[in-house]
Each structure stands twice: as structure tokens, then as C-alpha cells.
Structure 1
Amino acid sequence: MRILMIHNLYQIRGGEDESSAAEEKLLRSRGEIVEFYQETNDEERMKTFNSFQLASRTIWSGESYKIVRDKIRQHKIDVIHVQNFFPLISPSVYYAAQREGVPVVQSLRNYRLLCPNGLFFRQGQVCEDCLGQFIPYPGIVHACYRDNRLVTGVTTAMITTHRLLQTWHKQVNQFIALSQFARNKLIEAGLPEEKIVVKPNFVSPDPGQGQGKGGYALYVGRLSVEKGLDVLLEAWEKLAHPVPLKIVGEGPLKDWVVRATERFPHIEWLGKQPLTEVYKLMGEALFLVFPSKWYETFGRVAIEAFAKGTPVVASDIGAIAELVRDQVTGLKFRPGDGADLASQVDYAIAHPQLLQQMRNHARAEFLQKYTAEQNYEKLMTIYLNVVRRPAP
């Protein structure tokens, strides 16, 4: 099959970029032909546009429309898979594909079609003010995207314009949500239920099971408020029996984390680490802590932990609450509640036999749901279904 993968990469590559790159590599490894159209939000590229040009392109990019039509004709594309169109590519690529009679699959790795900042998160807590609003104007009022009303207004205009055009209903053949939680939110916001399927992320190659004998807890991720770093550090101040905590990642709360390491010698910040080192740390950790405060659409780091046989102590919110089974593959705590997180960590430390049982279950969960082979079969089923389906 010939697939055109479309992705607007972030200036700083994150989990969304890594997941789409993994899909591309998976498809190629199975003999599928993958072509690309990519843009990057790097500073030099963004400087080539003035404010009006950038706003216009976010809503409708004539350049992207032409590029996609040309690539379809040149490479005889069977299906287009849009990973991310925001902001430089725009939804115009859907129209280019349909004009050429090629079906469109859109992965939804955030809530950009529903919420101007794509997170349903504002001022340190979940916010659904724009959910159900045809024009998501509360986002402009609160300057939700980059703390800037102008750029939030542009994003809101993009969402509203394509709702008016019924782009999401008429121009996309299949949406991919990463979890049932995310699918439910999309349906609640008015996206067509029959067009949304769930296909999770995966881990490849299999990193192999670890031993869990390092005697420490581990956090891996962005050092930011929505990821619950404040909750994590609060919990470690309240532990009855302090367990060493290793923190891997970079982000705006780095200085806060550094100060915590100075006050508490059992907290260690390791900065950003290569994936091979992250897997080693995961494999030897007693458990991974996932303290997120926002509606995660998935939680890739959790299934990486499962692949190493490491249980996850997670906040009971969003997709991560769906991934972690309480006292089976991990433990859950009330989101945003550092005291409850501390109590769950103390409970885990006090029950080493349960930790070992959860290690075995976590590894089994990975093998059952999150391997490359299973994901390839699901992805190809989606592609084949839209290719065989009559055009709208």
C-alpha cells in the first residue's frame, strides 16, 4: 500500500512526533511504501510569515493543498494519514485528498479540534469551557494558546471555519483516537461517532523485561504543571517512608525540581536521557509515577513501563486511568492530590509481594495490547476499510 504521511512537527520533538515516527518505521518494516509531507514549527520557518500570512495559512494553506495533490499524482497514493496539520499545513490537505479521490485518516493525539490550546487545561486544572461551544470563544477570553489572545483567536477561527464547512464530518474518512476516553470526549464534542476508532500507541522494539531491583521510583516526562510535577514533589514531602525518586526530563519547572533535590537528598534529577538509558532506569525501578493533571489522550511512557514489567502509580484521570488497572498493573490516586499519591506510594512499598505480582501483570498487558505486530494489524485494517469504502 502507498501511504502519504502528513505531519506538522513541533520545534521541540515530543511524544506526538515520536509516536508518528514509530508508525512510519513500522509500516516501512512491513514493506508498505510511505511518502512524506512535513512542516516544522522552527523559528526560522515561522519568521518567513507575517502575522496575516500565518493566520491565513493556519485556516487554509493553498500551498499545502497543491503539494498534497501533486504528491498524490506523483506517487499514486492509496491513503493519506494526517498525523498533525497545525498550524502550517492546515485542513486544506483533506480537500486536496478528496479532490483526488484518496481517503483520509486523521490521528487525534490532542484535543485541537475541540479546544484552542489542545489540552482542556488552564491555570493548573482541567478546563472544559470550550467543550460544546460551536465557537470556542472562552479560549480567546483566557488567551489559552501561548498566553496570547491574537494567536488563540487564529486557532479559534480555524476551528470555527471548519465546523461551518463541516470539514470534520465530510472530508475525513476515519479518525483515530488513542484511547476510549479520548474517543468519548470527541463524540461529546460532536465529532461523528461512527468515524472514530481506537488504536493505541505501541512500543517497538520490545525492550525486554527488567528486574525492578533498583529500589527507587521513577518519573519520566516533561517537567510541567499539566504533567503534575507539583503533585509529585508534594507527595515526596509527605511520604511516611521516603523512597528514592529519580526524575528524567526537561521543562519549565526544572528550577523547581532542582530546588527540591537540594532540600531532599532522596530526590535526584537526571535531566534528559537517551531512550536506552530511560529503559534501563524503567526496568530497575520499583514503579513509575504518572501524576498527570490533564486529560492525557494516551500515556506512552506508561506502556513503555509495562514493556519493562514496571507497574505504574497513576492519577485517576483521562486515558491514563484507562491504561492502568488498579492493583493489577499499578495503583491509582486522586488527580492533583499529593497526599493521596503519597499514601499509594507508601502502600506499594509496604506490599512488595503485590509489587512483584503487578510487575508480571504489567508485562503481560504489554504483550497482549501494545506490541508492534498488533498495532500494524490494527493500522492496516483501518487503511483497508477506508480504501474499500465508497467515496462520500
Structure 2
Amino acid sequence: MRVLVLHNRYQIPGGEDVVAQSEKTLLEDNGHSVAWLEVSNDDITGLWSQIKTAANTIYSYSSKQRVSEIIASFKPDIVHVHNFFPLLSPAVYDACYEAGVPVVQTLHNYRLLCANAEFFRDGGVCEDCLGKVIPWPGVVHSCYRGNRAATAAVTAMLTLHRARGTWRDRVNLYITLTDFARQKFIAGGLPGSKIVVKPNFLHPDPGFGTGAGGYALFVGRLSQEKGLDTLIAAWKHLDGKIPLKIVGDGPQTLQVAEAAQKVPGVELLGRLSKNEVLALMKEALILIFPSLWYEGFPMTIVEAYAVGVPVIASQIGSLSALIHPSRTGIHFRPGDSEDLAAKVEWALAHPAELTQMRRDTRVEFEAKYTAEANYQQLMEIYQKATE
């Protein structure tokens, strides 16, 4: 097949960028021709650029023209959009529609339903805009980057394209990463017949680890929705019973650095490369995932399963289904640091059960999250979209 892949990269690299690149490589490795159009938010500099971006978020004629030209020259069988926000805009769907090329859109987050794409506000889950024709609460609360004007631009984009039927008529098939996300998008108005579930995957296979390091590991953005406050508070309760290595950076970096100086066992390693993270995971005893929001499909969990690390995670959103209690990990109550500490203590007191979980997580990876399994799913999705 000839596949045109469109992706808008954020300024802070994340899982969406990794998945988009991984799927491109997966297609090329299996003999398909791939045209790759990627734009970056790094290009948004200065006040005038921000004003222009706000307008283009709603509809970018230049992006439509650019995609139309690529379609005319490359002649793709299908267009796969990973992220159109904010620079590409939904205008790219029109370019594909007018050229008669089917579109698949991966929904990595909740942008089509929520201005900040996370269903998260003031430290907890917020669904105030879910199902609303005009998601006005987001504007009231300045949900996009704490900026009311910017949020208004995002809300205008969502409202306009819902009204003109862009989401319904211009996309042949949507991919959600979990069934939880699929149900949210159906509740938000997308037709269920157009939404299929395909998880993320990991390639190459890093291989099974040993877990001999005897430490707990957190990998992710250091921000409120990731549950860092809960994590630090739990380690205060544990009082040095097990070391905790924290990998990542973000708005709470300073707060975590201060905690690393005061809380027994806490160590901040900062941002590391993928290979460095995988090396740490192979030696970790457990992975801690204390998120407070509806995660998409964290690559960190796929990586943990690949190397055989059980996950102690919040029982919230997709995490409720991704973690299988007593088989691939343990759930705790979201935001409850004492419950998290208790679950860590249970893991430390049950080494035999933890060893069995290590084997089970690897089995889970081999069954669901390899490149081979994902490629077959992707081809079935493309076939369905082109019918």
C-alpha cells in the first residue's frame, strides 16, 4: 500500500510522537511506501505566530493545500492522521475527502471532546464538556494552557467541525487505544461503527529483565495529572523500605527534586533516553503508575510488560483494564497515597507472587503488544477503511 502519514509534533516529546514514528517504520519494514508529513509546534514563536496559529487551529487553508499537493504527487491508497492539532487542523480531512482518499485517524487523546484533551481540571477528572454541542465550560475555566483566548480558539474548532459534520463524514475510521476510550468517544457523539480499538506496540523487543535492582520505578512527565503528589506522599509513608527512581521532567521537576532531598529512598534521574529507560526497567522490581487522569495507552506500560515488570497503577480509566490484578500488577485507589504505600508493601512481602507476575506480564506482551500482532491489526483497519 501507499500510505500518507500526517502528524503534528508537540514541543515536549511524548508517546504520540513515538507511536507515529513506530507505525511508520512498521509499515516500511513490511514493504509499504510511506510519505511522511510532520509539522512541529516548535515553529510557533512570538506573538504574531501565536495569533496566526489560533486562527489556523480552526481551519488551515495552507495545510489543506500542502496535503492536496502531496496526495496529487504521491497518490496514496490511504491517509493516516495521528495528530492534526494545532498546525495541520481538520482542513487536512477536506483535502483527503476531495481527492477521494480514505482517512484513518488515531485518537491518542481526547482532543475531539475536551479543550485540554485530558478530561482533567483542578487536580481531578472533569467531564463537563462531554457530549456538549458547544463545550463552553472549557472556555470558562481556561482549560487549554490556562489561556481563555486560546481555549476559545480550540472550542471554536470543536464546535464548527461538529456542526459541519467533519468528524462524522470526513473520517472513514477512528482508532482508539482502549475500549474505555472508545466508549468515551461514543458518549461524546462519534459513531461507534467508525471506531475500532488497536493498542500501541513496542519494537524492537527489548527482552526479559531480571528485576535484580530491587527498586521501584516511575517514568513519565512530572506533572499534576501524573499523580506525582500521590507518589511522593506514598514514599513518605514507606520511609525508605524500597528505593524509588523517578525518570522524566516537567512542571513539577523542582518539587520532585526537593522531595528527593528530603524523602528517604527517592532519587530523581531526570529525562533519559529510551535505551536508558529500558535498561532501568529491566532491573526494576515494580513500576509505579499513579495517574489521576484518563490515560490513553501509556508506552511505559507496554515497555514494562515487555521486560517483565509488574505495574502498580491507579484504578482509573484505561488503567483499570490494562492492569490485570494479581496477574500483571496491582491497582490502588487514585490519589490515595496510603493505599499506594500499602500495595507496595504487599509486593515486597510476596516475592513469589511478584515473580509469577513478572512471567505473566511478559506473556501479556507477547500475546498483544508485539510488532507482528499490531501489524496484522493495522492492515485489517486499513482494509476496512478502504472498502
TM-score (norm 2): 0.98
Do the aligned residues in 1 keep the contact of 2:239 with 2:263 (CA within 8 Å)?
no
Residue 32 of structure 2 corresponds to: 32
For each residue in 1:65-122, what CA deviation from the matched residue of structure 2 results, as whole angstroms up to 9, or x when unmatched? 1111111110111100000000111101111101111000000001000000100001
Q: CA deviation at 1:56?
A: 2.3
**Distance (Å, rounded) in 1 between the aligned partners of 2:47 and 2:380:** 40
SS in structure 1 opposite 2:364?
Answer: helix
**Distance (Å, rounded) in 2 between the aligned partners of 1:371 and 1:160:** 38
Q: CA deviation at 1:55?
A: 2.5
**Distance (Å, rounded) in 1 between the aligned partners of 2:332 and 2:79:** 40
Q: Given the alignment of the two structures, is residue 324 of structure 1 paired with residue 323 of structure 2, yes or no?
A: yes
Further displaced range: 23-32 or 158-167 = 23-32
Q: CA deviation at 1:15?
A: 1.1
Residue 8 of structure 2 corresponds to: 8
SS in structure 1 opposite 2:326?
Answer: coil
Give the residue type in structure 2 aligned to 1:193.
Answer: G
For each residue in 1:114-163, what CA deviation from the matched residue of structure 2 results, as whole angstroms up to 9, or x when unmatched? 00010000111111111111100000000000100000000000000001
Q: CA deviation at 1:326?
A: 0.5
**Distance (Å, rounded) in 1 between the aligned partners of 2:47 and 2:203:** 37
Q: Given the alignment of the two structures, is residue 142 of structure 1 paired with residue 131 of structure 2, yes or no?
A: no
SS in structure 1 opposite 2:250?
Answer: coil
For each residue in 1:284-309, what CA deviation from the matched residue of structure 2 results, as whole angstroms up to 9, or x when unmatched? 11110000000001121011000001
Q: CA deviation at 1:49?
A: 4.4
**Distance (Å, rounded) in 2 between the aligned partners of 1:55 and 1:219:** 35
Give the residue type in structure 1 aligned to 2:182.
Answer: R
Q: 1:261 to 1:240 in 2, by over 3 A?
A: closer
**Distance (Å, rounded) in 2 between the aligned partners of 1:228 and 1:51:** 30
SS in structure 2 opposite 1:162?
Answer: helix
Give the residue type in structure 2 aligned to 1:358.
Answer: M
**Distance (Å, rounded) in 2 between the aligned partners of 1:24 and 1:54:** 27
**Distance (Å, rounded) in 2 between the aligned partners of 1:77 and 1:325:** 40
Give the residue type in structure 1 aligned to 2:32.
Answer: E
Residue 20 of structure 1 corresponds to: 20
Further displaced range: 269-278 or 344-353 = 269-278
**Distance (Å, rounded) in 2 between the aligned partners of 1:255 and 1:125:** 22
SS in structure 2 opposite 1:146?
Answer: coil
Q: 1:326 to 1:29 in 2, by over 3 A?
A: same
TM-score (norm 1): 0.97
Q: CA deviation at 1:347?
A: 0.5
Q: What are the ranges of 5 or more consecutive residues in structure 1 without an aligned counterpart?
A: none
Q: 1:51 to 1:40 in 2, by over 3 A?
A: closer
Q: CA deviation at 1:54?
A: 2.2
Give the residue type in structure 2 aligned to 1:138.
Answer: P
Residue 170 of structure 2 corresponds to: 171
Q: CA deviation at 1:256?
A: 1.2
Give the residue type in structure 1 aligned to 2:360.
Answer: H
Q: 1:52 to 1:279 in 2, by over 3 A?
A: closer
Q: How many residues align?
A: 387
For each residue in 1:46-69, what CA deviation from the matched residue of structure 2 results, as whole angstroms up to 9, or x when unmatched? 448455532221111111111111
Residue 151 of structure 2 corresponds to: 152
**Distance (Å, rounded) in 1 between the aligned partners of 2:64 and 2:265:** 54
SS in structure 1 opposite 2:129?
Answer: coil
SS in structure 1 opposite 2:7?
Answer: strand
Runs of 4+ residues deviating >6 angstroms? none
Give the residue type in structure 1 aligned to 2:303.
Answer: E
Do the aligned residues in 2 keep the contact of 1:241 with 1:346 (CA within 8 Å)?
no
Alpha-carbon RMSD: 1.2
Do the aligned residues in 2 keep the contact of 1:299 with 1:319 (CA within 8 Å)?
no
Do the aligned residues in 1 keep the contact of 2:308 with 2:360 (CA within 8 Å)?
yes
Q: What are the ranges of 5 or more consecutive residues in structure 2 without an aligned counterpart?
A: none
Residue 301 of structure 2 corresponds to: 302
